[in-house]
Amino acid sequence: AQSVSQHNHHVILSEAASLELGCNYSYGGTVNLFWYVQYPGQHLQLLLKYFSGDPLVKGIKGFEAEFIKSKFSFNLRKPSVQWSDTAEYFCAVKGNSGYALNFGKGTSLLVTP
Amino acid sequence: EAQVTQNPRYLITVTGKKLTVTCSQNMNHEYMSWYRQDPGLGLRQIYYSMNVEVTDKGDVPEGYKVSRKEKRNFPLILESPSPNQTSLYFCASSTSKVLGATDTQYFGPGTRLTVL
């Protein structure tokens, strides 16, 4: 089954620092990849997704992710974080059946003023 | 406004007392699913439904039941809750069962369940 792993469980950054959260997927075939964000006390929101085409995907709130097939990676980046980016971030891959998303364990990001 | 609603948002109950968490979407989506979120484990799918009267197990279905009698509703039923079902539960729906490139999956606000 397709799965993703997120290596950073907790990240602490100062405002204006650059962010990169790692995500690696397990499947070598066609994959559909997602990044979701969960702000404290809120539901999940889609940041961006990759299905095909340009491997550099732009999302909302200044986030982007790059699909690197040779590295089985889909890392999330933001050049300058803000305090309001404090949240939990989940990478996800569409499952084999195409009917479900398999989520990573999440990365908790704390941005300090 | 397009949304997925869940009720209740918070629930504390005792072992063995049957409960139902409701989920409703107003977007006429065919596909709905339930996830549970636990610290360090991310989100794991419990059950999903591709249409009315069509449901299937996800990764962690034990101890849960679902039904899909109407397109808009997808309740999660715990017949005999146990403490290991203490978790944060999310309902989700999407524009297509295939979750294709143009589809969007919407999540509900979550239900925090504590089983004593």
- pLDDT (average), residues B65-87: 97
A104/B58 Cβ within 8 A: no
Looking at the predicted structure, is the pLDDT value of residue A81 above 80? yes
| Closest partner CB to B31 (pick from A42, A43, A99) | A99
| Closest partner CB to A94 (pick from B33, B99, B110) | B99
B90/A44 Cβ within 8 A: yes
Closest Cα in chain B to A51 = B101
Q: Which long-range contacts (CB under 8 A, 24 or more apart) does B54-61 make?
A: B56/A99, B58/A100, B58/B33, B58/B34, B59/A102, B60/B36
Beta strands in A51-100 (DSSP E): 56-58, 64-68, 73-78, 87-94
A101/B99 Cβ within 8 A: yes
Lowest mean pLDDT across A42-46, A76-80, B30-34, B67-71: A42-46
Lowest mean pLDDT across A90-94, A109-113, B4-8: A90-94
pLDDT value for B96: 72
- pLDDT (average), residues B30-57: 91
B41/A105 Cβ within 8 A: yes
Chain A residues within 8 A of B49 when measuring between CB atoms? none
A93-108 tens-digit pLDDT: 886 666 678 889 999 9
Looking at the predicted structure, is the pLDDT value of residue A6 above 70? yes
The mean pLDDT of chain B is 92
Closest Cα in chain A to B33 = A100
A17-38 tens-digit pLDDT: 999 999 999 876 778 899 999 9
Chain A residues within 8 A of B110 when measuring between CB atoms? 43
Looking at the predicted structure, is the pLDDT value of residue A56 above 90? yes
